[in-house]
Amino acid sequence: MQLWNKLSKEELVEKLKERGTKFVTVSFYQYADIPNPQVFRDHLFQMWDKLGIVGRTYIATEGINAQIGVPADQFEQFRKELYEISFLNNIRLNIAVDETEAEFPFLKLKIKVRKKILADGLNDSTFDVRNKGKHLKADEFNALVNDSNTILIDMRNHYETEVGHFKGAITPDVDTFRESLPIIEDEILAGNEDKNIVMYCTGGIRCEKASAWYKHRGFKNVHQLEGGIIKYANDCADLGIENKFIGKNFVFDERRGERITEDIISVCHQCGSPADTHTNCLNDACHLLFIQCESCKEKMQGCCSSECQEIYNLPEEKQRALRKGKENSNKIFKKGRSDKLKFKGNNQKPLRVAQPIAVKSKD
């Protein structure tokens, strides 16, 4: 059996349209001892491929990190089979808040074996990753962040916090989780050992590792939002309690964002008008991630600059010739950082306190 997908993007879209399946976007993670990740990876691929599951999953000896789209009519079977795996029995499944941003959350099933399920730059053998911070439910989170003795920290990257965050959170202007760990310790936590430290991220995985690391570093009152922003938003709606998150929650699938509130707290990186929709530049030699309003999208044909637009309009064979032999991963890695984006703050201070100002409600 073929344990990977070779279809083109266009073929994948057509295949999904023909299937006519409605997907449930699900994410979960679990730190666990997986002796042979490749064997487990192949088993999981066969199991999920039969169910028509799409999405991205990373497996390592330390555990699993999954963001997938499950056909709605196969969801119960998926959960049953997942829970039959001993270390995943009754694992929390984070269900997407908003499914309207993209026709399909993912186009194909990709399961990769990696050294780590989260690029954190830490040596796990030097501390106990199981000694993590206290998990906070939505109502507990709301109560603790109202305490003046609490420091609320966003563990996500700059392009995520730009479109949505919790009111009053400190949002480090960083590109990666690995980069954020020492900055947060040196510039936020140092001298605040007696404060309540509350962290949050998209689904919880970054806080899971960060809370254990900071406890190892000597900080005692460490907390994390259980299930991250995704579970929090769902719980607030279910419980009828105040939702302290404003704007969009950035997600790593074709939607690129799920709307939590109607507030638009960011601007188009090209014209400065209120906007919070991320796009990847359509020039295949670029694919820079940036925020673009509908007007600029039409004017610039989905490109981040006039240079990219010129290349995008060349015949495909000329585009391939220009790309040949060139490495462009650094531009892609530096998501949203380009001197061609006039209204993107590319030289911000490392730390920012998110303020609910200049907020515009979506029409």
Q: Does 278 share its domain with 229?
A: no
Q: Does 208 share its domain with 281?
A: no
Residue 322 belongs to what domain range?
268-333
Residue 62 lies in a domain: yes
Write down the pTM of the prediction: 0.84
Residue 143 lies in a domain: yes
Q: Does 134 share its domain with 238?
A: yes
Position 107 confidence tier, pLDDT thresholds 50, 70, 90: confident
Using DSSP's 3-state secondary structure scheme, residue 95 falls into: strand
Other CB atoms closer than 10 Å to residue 313's CB: what's the count?
12
Show which of 79, 113, 147 is a domain's final residue: 113
Contact by Cβ (8 Å): 49, 110: no
**Residue 359 amino acid letter:** V
Q: Does 174 share its domain with 90?
A: no
CA-CA-CA-CA torsion sign (244, 29, 153, 348): negative
The token duo for 233 is 């938003």
Which whole number is the average pLDDT over 32-41? 95
Using alpha carbons, list the distances in angstroms from residue 194 to 132, 183, 191: 17, 19, 8
Which whole number is the average pLDDT over 85-96? 94
More confident residue, 224 or 3: 224
Query: pLDDT value at position 363?
Result: 45
Does the pLDDT value for residue 360 go beyond 60?
no
Q: Which long-range contacts (CB under 8 A, 24 or more apart) does 77-80 make?
A: 77/51, 78/48, 78/51, 78/53
Residues 281-321 have pLDDT tens digits of 999 888 899 999 999 999 999 999 999 999 999 999 999 88
Q: Does 87 share its domain with 188?
A: no
Residue 31 lies in a domain: yes
Which whole number is the average pLDDT over 247-258? 89
Position 238 confidence tier, pLDDT thresholds 50, 70, 90: very high
Query: pLDDT value at position 5?
Result: 60
> Under 8 Å CB-to-CB from 333, ≥6 apart: which residues?
175
Other CB atoms closer than 10 Å to residue 24's CB: what's the count?
18
Q: Does 159 share its domain with 237?
A: yes
Query: pLDDT value at position 77?
Result: 97
Report the alpha-carbon distance of residue 196 to residue 147 in Å, rounded.
9
Q: Does 59 share its domain with 136?
A: no
Contact by Cβ (8 Å): 266, 291: yes
Q: Does 284 share its domain with 304?
A: yes
Query: pLDDT value at position 8?
Result: 57
More confident residue, 17 or 160: 160
Domain count, the chain: 3
Does the pLDDT value for residue 165 go beyond 80?
yes
Which whole number is the average pLDDT over 20-31? 88
Query: pLDDT value at position 10?
Result: 57
Which of 201, 293, 296, 303 is catalytic? The answer is 201
Query: pLDDT value at position 285?
Result: 87
Residue 73 lies in a domain: yes
Query: pLDDT value at position 226?
Result: 95
The token duo for 3 is 């344990």
Q: Does 193 share its domain with 276?
A: no
> Under 8 Å CB-to-CB from 348, ≥6 apart: which residues?
158, 173
More confident residue, 217 or 8: 217
- Check which CATH number belongs to the domain holding 178 and give it: 3.40.250.10
Residue 201 lies in a domain: yes
Q: Is 201 among the residues known to form the active site?
A: yes
Query: pLDDT value at position 13?
Result: 57
Q: Which is nearest to 153 in space by CA: 361, 345, 350?
A: 350
More confident residue, 261 or 348: 261
